[in-house]
Amino acid sequence: MPNIELPVLLKNGEIVENTYQLIEDDLIVPEGDVLLTVEQLELLESISGKKALFITVDSSPETIELPLSKLDTIFIEFAGFNDGRGYSFAALLRRHGFKGELRAIGDIFKDVLNYLKRSGFDSFVIKEGKDVHEAASGLNDFKAPYQQSTAVTSAHYQTGSIV
């Protein structure tokens, strides 16, 4: 499970505390906002606060039907810098109509924030040991991207401009 005790960096540069809690091994659902694993989805209806789901490379949204309309946030794990499946998961979830918050967690650091934001992520948990304040400056490293943003739903094929 992720370290959800770390601060959360929002795509606008604001740094906030995480409000989600994990369900312990006893499977007793705590009051408030809760982060579930795919294996705990049967507990979704018993959550009183915001509902979040933790997706790993082993719980791909390509192979598992997810209750997207019932979730407020989806945490997508980046197990390593060289594993780009989290970007694909974000794009897939947005294409399937998920309107809630996408939160990148795991091997997340300053140099990848701009790309994550352009892929549809709303918030980020910076890798343990890295300075979240320093990383925040990476959100605006590039003002004019060369590629079309995958988070843009309607773009012109040739120019990448929004129609």
**Domain extent listing, the chain:** 8-140
Q: How far is CA 122 from the centre of its chain?
A: 7
Residues 6+ apart with CB under 8 A from 159: none
Task: Give strand pairing partners of 78.
Answer: 106
> 């790309």: which residue's tokens?
115
Q: How far is CA 76 from CA 86, 105, 141, 151, in A?
A: 6, 6, 22, 16
SS3 128: coil
Fold of 8-140: TIM Barrel (3.20.20)
CA distance 73 to 4: 13
Residue 33, pLDDT > 50, answer yes
Inter-residue contact 74 to 53 (CB < 8 Å): yes
- Work out the percent of the chain whose per-residue pLDDT is above 70: 85
Would the pLDDT of 23 be above 60? yes
Contact 76, 90 (CB under 8 A): yes
Sheet holding 8-10, edge to edge: 15-16, 8-10, 123-125, 101-106, 73-78, 51-55, 34-37, 21-22
At 111, list the tokens.
């140099």
What does pLDDT average to over the chain? 86
What is the per-residue pLDDT across 93-119, written as a single tens digit (0 to 9) for each?
A: 999 999 999 999 999 999 999 889 988
**Average pLDDT of the residues in 37-41:** 93
Alpha-helical (H) ranges within 46-109 are 85-95
Residue 73's DSSP bridge partners are: 52, 101
DSSP label at 125?
E
